[in-house]
Amino acid sequence: MPDKGTVTHTIEDQVSTIEFFHPKGNSFPGKLLKQFTDAINEAAESDESNVIVIRSKGDGAFCAGASFDELISIENFEQGKKFFMGFANVINAMRTSPKFIITRVQGKVVGGGIGIVAASDYVIAHNSASVKLSELALGIGPFVVGPAVGRKIGVGAFTSMSIDARSWFDADWAKSNQLYSRVVDSVDEIDEAIDKLSGDLASSNPEAMKELREIQWHGTGHWGPTLEQRAEISGRLVLSDFTSEFIENFKNGSKG
């Protein structure tokens, strides 16, 4: 159902394109996270494609992170852990893919969306695509996305984003700290660059790309249990009165 979000996986010219959509800023409820993970695994295992492109639908936000409606409906630790494991599963699926992942970012990126960007191998973004790790403001913290973000931008930049949780960091900052690979001035330029790079990779040696990716992701084998532990921390903290009150205030327009 479109009102609950959609995930599609299409293959053309040896390029897998995964597109996700949710009417509330391309945010992620738990079921959509599951579908997104399944699509990444399907693309990773397909013999018909050599590279994966991730994109979201529309010309607004790339990803608003976790669904606030779902966060506020969590009633116990088990539900909380299960929800945050959704993001952990996405990151682990991206990490273990034998194929390079290119991500198209047309608009702002928040929270869990930063994890998707950070777990990508190459990111082409619009110059309006500011980023924010808002978790601490919610009373949680960027625990699950932390390993991916810290690996990509370094401890110093990750700490800055984590602590300054109410501030937006612009696209130039994201590029200078390696979160984005390229920043361009129009959506047409994004699509042209995505098509060019994905086409080049689609015609490259799959075995060579797999070996290169394994080298680049070396040392992340412990992420499975680490991200599960992080999901448990988030699952516990999301039950706090602080988080419930923040989300209610945000939805009522008094915080942002």
> Buried b vs exposed e over 241-254: b needs ≥16 C-beta within 10 Å?
eebbebbeebeeee
Examine the pLDDT at 254 and tell me if it is beyond 60: no
pLDDT at 2: 56
For 2-202, CATH number out of 3.20.80.10, 3.90.226.10, 3.40.1160.10, 1.10.3720.10 equals: 3.90.226.10
Distance of CA 170 to the CA centre of its chain: 17
DSSP secondary structure code for residue 130 in this structure: -
Give per-residue pLDDT as tens, 92-128: 999 999 999 999 999 999 999 999 999 999 999 999 9
The string of DSSP codes covering 65-86 is -B-HHHHHH--SHHHHHHHHHH
| pLDDT band at residue 72 using 50, 70 and 90 as cut-offs | confident
Examine the pLDDT at 16 and tell me if it is beyond 90: yes
* CB 149 within 8 Å of CB 142: yes
* For residues 227-238, average pLDDT: 96
User: Which has the closest alpha carbon to 19: 31, 32, 30?
Assistant: 32
| pLDDT band at residue 175 using 50, 70 and 90 as cut-offs | very high
pLDDT at 4: 85
Q: Where are the domains of the chain?
A: 2-202
Q: What's the rounded Cα separation, in Å, for the pair 72 and 247?
A: 7
Residue 255 has phi, psi (to 5 degrees) of -140, 160
H runs (alpha helix) in 52-186: 68-73, 77-96, 112-118, 146-153, 155-163, 171-176
pLDDT at 256: 42
In which element (H, E) is residue 3 found? none
* CB 121 within 8 Å of CB 218: no
pLDDT at 185: 97
Examine the pLDDT at 1 and tell me if it is beyond 60: no
